[in-house]
Structure 1
């Protein structure tokens, strides 16, 4: 693996452009044209000077009759003072016109400068306000936004009862398949296809294996599709997909009483989610983040269009052009040698994970080759590929929102919860990214607001050192109280 570690890379916009010197003849031509314009202006102003004087005197007489002599004298004094300051070079702006508006101000206002437009504007709020950087704070509840925003209800993919329930044993981190009715069930194991040029877009399925009540899932089975039939067993009653996270055999457990415990990192990402979109569409989740003392990284902003350049900045410290040059995502094997941050965690003994829904538009596969080998210890792509292919889908906003009997995003978040529980006594790094309820419609996250809040509130896992929640332009971080430092 190349030893390239998060070095500062210049942005694409800072490329120097060589300025060519102008030719001598071109400069001379512009200078000559300037002289002609000045001469013409002087001749024209000389012929009209006497006429303008007469008009100005008539105008001043009319103004004097309207305002009275005292106010007129104050106006003359103000105008004379301004003219003197212009001659002395005390102002860089053009002289004010001598018009009726010069005398229309109140006596207190005469002789004062008009305030700048910036000062007269309403107070502007900023996320970041420093001499070197300003990031405005847009109002997520602005009237023009509320006109097009429509709160969405939670979409139930299937109201039927689960024929299979997965039961997790906290003691030994094992899974059992419990059948809730009298039925016959079998499962097909989902496997990656091996090392191929397009391995990241394929999967394998084993033949269907019947299993008894409370079947213990083998540790080599990380994903499956189940088929259940009720009596008289002549037709399929229910089909589901499940993912499983098993403990690593070589994982290193930490000592809970040790003062030097290293933190684990768990990232939950929502694609196309900005700060204002989160606050508008997911108020319950936004309230939860603030109540739990999460820190909003207000200086965090997007690096480019689409998810790839924004996640590469987080995972490798690269901008888009350097990431494409260094990691070659359009070539087979390019991403496999890319110095992504989970490799550093892996070298330190961490267990790693990455999962993302919507296989077609996922970060490392949209117009890219993807990985030849699973990039992390736990990799959710084969499960999503198989579920999208083998289970009925329901689309909302042209996105496969439902995969079978539950939203596609819940497959990813279920893996995140399992990953945290299984590795609760060891250090881990996990990235779990979702697109299917936020990518195409900025109103759709409102459908998952209460679900996401209850997920975080009811399934909080102890032992997580740092937790992240964010999108391409919003990021929140929470330092867990279990840390010693």
Structure 2
């Protein structure tokens, strides 16, 4: 106890000495809160910062691919005939044989429970096969003359009759009124400072394209799970343990997650997260008994991690099959938003594998990839009707920046960027004004929860008055409304230990 008390006093002394040093460089500076804005490229940090380049997991093209057929409303699995010869030549055993026979089959992934999947019998096919719409993901295996030469996985977003009916019912009720879809893209352990440091191209891209940063976004707890609960449920960890304990069987199923509210109001929902072993709702927890959303990636990724080659290279880039592990999630996010681009959806996609380690420069390898990912969202029309939120849970909590004076602040300030589609900016300029004002104001995950409910009100399917405040933060509010410039941490459920405000 004495050591903990000593640590708190020492941390306070360091912080107040530091904040005095940065008196001329603060983005919040008033009688209630003062937060410094230090240089993310300080020499102490950059001397061990080794910027990485994106390297593909293999130069070999996959032997199979899938496409969605709009006419039949189903996916088709194809063999890429143009690369068969390449696979033949790789193995000298086949290169000298006059005749080779290629045999491929696919195994459907079946979810039995949160930690158990089963694989259906491998269904053989020749050049292509139309896939049943019950299929969310599958593993493909191919043999040449009986020898296994190819294993890969594909995740799909199949058409579902009940989902289409849900969308149709609410579309008719809305009378054609525009409704924003919501896409959350989470990168674990990414502070606002390290985004600038490790992913400068991504940061510059968002700045150049008028994304809104919440620079004063302050975490409310230590690690991932208790920092996601506030914006997904409006509850803190203490309340969740009482109402929907994740450490009890089927406990999480009792939580009122924000995606359930979206589903009840006619949206299609999806959730995906890489690195199955440390998934937010499963690490040392029971996870979900029932499938929590309409499209749930966990079963497919469990199969992929079991059947595909998994390698972590010396440059900290993790591959799963033919692509980086995180790319399975990003590709699924692209496909989900493409499939439902003309409908209402709520999708949340979270990645751990290129950022979770205590290595500040690990994510630099994915910088240019993330720019391309955001540009692909633009090209397929996602940004025209979706509110897109790029966020994190906290900064590096051990190693890396924690060996410098930046550590205390950086741990507590995860990134948060918000994109508003053009029609919302034009129809409701007050939303733009609020987001601009809120850039340099103290905010937290409970505010994001209220923002997600506010977006539902904008759909015309509900009103803000129908919803109460976040249960564990009565004074928290939507970021689409101006936040008080004189906010204090104590006002908005941020404990002193996590508060980045230096009182004047």
Q: Residue 120 and residue 408 in structure 1: after superposition, are their counterparts in 2 closer, same or farther (change >3 A)?
A: closer
Aligned to 1:228: 142
Q: Structure 2: which 5+ runs fail to align?
A: 1-16, 85-101, 394-413, 429-504
The one-character-per-residue Cα deviations of 1:317-358 (angstroms, maximum 9, x if unpaired) are 122222222220101111001011001101101101111000
Aligned to 2:255: 338
CA distance in 1, matches of 2:136, 2:183: 20
SS in 1 for 2:422: coil
CA distance in 1, matches of 2:315, 2:257: 31
1:176 maps onto 2:76 in alignment:
yes
Residue of 160, 167, 173 corresponding to 1:252: 167
Q: Structure 1: which 5+ runs fail to align?
A: 1-116, 194-198
Residue of 459, 467, 476 corresponding to 2:417: 476
Q: CA deviation at 1:130?
A: 3.0
Where do residues 178-257 of structure 1 align in structure 2 (5 Å cutoff)?
A: 178-181=78-81, 183-193=102-112, 199-230=113-144, 233-249=145-161, 250-253=165-168, 254=171
Residue of 366, 373, 388 corresponding to 1:467: 388
Aligned to 1:143: 43
8 Å contact 1:307–1:363 — kept in the other structure? yes
1:418 maps onto 2:335 in alignment:
yes
RMSD: 2.4
Specify which structure has the bigger relative contact order, considering alpha-carbon pairs within 8 angstroms and separated by 6 or more residues: 2
Aligned to 1:352: 269
8 Å contact 1:165–1:180 — kept in the other structure? yes
Figure out how many residues of one structure are paired with residues of the other and give that number.
362
CA distance in 1, matches of 2:18, 2:377: 49
Q: Residue 177 and residue 326 in structure 1: after superposition, are their counterparts in 2 closer, same or farther (change >3 A)?
A: same
Aligned to 1:409: 326
Q: CA deviation at 1:171?
A: 5.7
The one-character-per-residue Cα deviations of 1:372-408 (angstroms, maximum 9, x if unpaired) are 1110000000011111112121025898821111111
Q: Residue 279 and residue 329 in structure 1: after superposition, are their counterparts in 2 closer, same or farther (change >3 A)?
A: same
Q: Residue 238 and residue 302 in structure 1: after superposition, are their counterparts in 2 closer, same or farther (change >3 A)?
A: same
Q: CA deviation at 1:274?
A: 0.6
Q: Indicate the larger mover: 214-223 or 269-278.
A: 214-223
Where do residues 46-445 of structure 1 align in structure 2 (5 Å cutoff)?
A: 121=21, 123-169=23-69, 173-181=73-81, 183-193=102-112, 199-230=113-144, 233-249=145-161, 250-253=165-168, 254=171, 260-396=177-313, 401-440=318-357, 441-445=359-363
8 Å contact 1:465–1:482 — kept in the other structure? no
8 Å contact 1:358–1:400 — kept in the other structure? no
SS in 2 for 1:238: strand
CA distance in 2, matches of 1:334, 1:465: 32
Q: CA deviation at 1:123?
A: 4.0
8 Å contact 2:22–2:36 — kept in the other structure? no
CA distance in 2, matches of 1:416, 1:357: 12
Q: CA deviation at 1:156?
A: 2.1
8 Å contact 1:316–1:341 — kept in the other structure? yes
The one-character-per-residue Cα deviations of 1:52-88 (angstroms, maximum 9, x if unpaired) are xxxxxxxxxxxxxxxxxxxxxxxxxxxxxxxxxxxxx
Q: CA deviation at 1:474?
A: 1.0
SS in 1 for 2:186: strand
CA distance in 1, matches of 2:339, 2:254: 28
Q: Residue 192 and residue 118 in structure 1: after superposition, are their counterparts in 2 closer, same or farther (change >3 A)?
A: closer
8 Å contact 1:173–1:422 — kept in the other structure? no
Q: CA deviation at 1:133?
A: 2.1
SS in 1 for 2:271: strand
CA distance in 2, matches of 1:360, 1:428: 27
8 Å contact 1:357–1:436 — kept in the other structure? yes
Q: Indicate the larger mover: 125-134 or 350-359.
A: 125-134
Q: Which runs of 4+ in 1 moved over 6 A?
A: 117-120, 397-400
CA distance in 1, matches of 2:389, 2:71: 27
CA distance in 2, matches of 1:364, 1:426: 28
Q: CA deviation at 1:428?
A: 0.6
CA distance in 2, matches of 1:119, 1:430: 38
Q: What TM-score comes out, normalization by structure 2 length?
A: 0.68
Q: Residue 315 and residue 397 in structure 1: after superposition, are their counterparts in 2 closer, same or farther (change >3 A)?
A: farther
Q: Residue 358 and residue 259 in structure 1: after superposition, are their counterparts in 2 closer, same or farther (change >3 A)?
A: same
Q: Residue 145 and residue 260 in structure 1: after superposition, are their counterparts in 2 closer, same or farther (change >3 A)?
A: same
Q: CA deviation at 1:122?
A: 5.5
Q: What TM-score comes out, normalization by structure 1 length?
A: 0.70
| Structure of higher CA gyration radius | 1
8 Å contact 1:393–1:400 — kept in the other structure? no
CA distance in 2, matches of 1:385, 1:165: 20
CA distance in 1, matches of 2:175, 2:422: 15
Q: Residue 229 and residue 298 in structure 1: after superposition, are their counterparts in 2 closer, same or farther (change >3 A)?
A: same
